[in-house]
Amino acid sequence: MPDDPNGFARDLFDGLPARYDRLAEILSFGQNGQWREEMVGHVIPADGVILDVASGTAGVALQLAARNVREHGRARVVGVDLTEQRLAIIPPGLSTRASSASVDALTFTYLLRYVRDPQATLAELARVLKPGGMMASLEFYVPDGPLWHPAWWAYTRMVLPAGGLLLGGREWFRVGRFLGPNISAHYRRYPVAWTVQAWEKAGLVDVRTRVMSLGGGLVMWGTRAGG
């Protein structure tokens, strides 16, 4: 882990092009949007505030807002992100300022690999939830088995950097080269069982997980205790 995880993440993602979401879909073989939709489906309240942490280009926040409209809800979506350049891509009308008050639901995406203390981060995220509020997350995962793990390893170490360079330039090459080793290292240190316990220590109950796309993605969700 770098000495300054926040600075490292900001530097890593600041230079990505505005077509970030389109390239993410291409390089994930169209799975990224499905993973987001799965996560979003676990956190839609009828009203109140939904906080999307590490919002990036607002892909999740926009899906939250769209699903809320489809389900005739009255919730307000708030997105916050460390990288201002990525938030600048968010369309007008979508708030990018987090309220200091409690929220009714919370999502975060690809976050815990970039923080020094995942347990403390989860505790802080859970703190802003109202009792009974839902929290859900999306993260890359590592497939297992004699076929899918070697295929994933080869893709993340070779194909992903090359494809990033071809489609997105030097910035995407840098991110592509970083992701595979970073994902592997994270799960060696913080396996899923540890992460579930960390959610529970932070005050979440009924914590569940769903592995998606043969192990490429991991969605987690739970409820703030006391509801």
pLDDT at 91: 42
- Averaged pLDDT of the chain: 83
Q: What is the pLDDT of residues 174-215, one digit of tens each?
A: 888 888 999 999 999 999 999 999 999 999 999 999 999 999
Q: With residue 49 as reference, give the H or E element that holds it.
A: strand 49-53
Q: What is the pLDDT of residues 114-124, one digit of tens each?
A: 899 999 999 99
| Tokens of residue 90, six digits | 């968010």
Q: Please, what is the end-to-end C-alpha distance for the chain in angstroms?
A: 36
Q: What is the pLDDT of residues 78-124, one digit of tens each?
A: 888 765 444 443 444 444 454 645 799 999 999 999 899 999 999 99
Strand-strand pairing, 103-109 and 49-53: parallel
- The residue with greater pLDDT, 88 or 18, is 18
Res. 139 pLDDT band, cuts 50 70 90:
very high
- The residue with greater pLDDT, 169 or 153, is 153
Which DSSP state fits 26? H
Laid out side by side, the sheet with 76-80 consists of: 76-80, 49-53, 103-109, 129-140, 217-224, 204-212
Res. 59 pLDDT band, cuts 50 70 90:
confident
**What pTM, to 2 d.p., does this model score?**
0.83
Residue 22 CB-half CA count within 13 A = 5
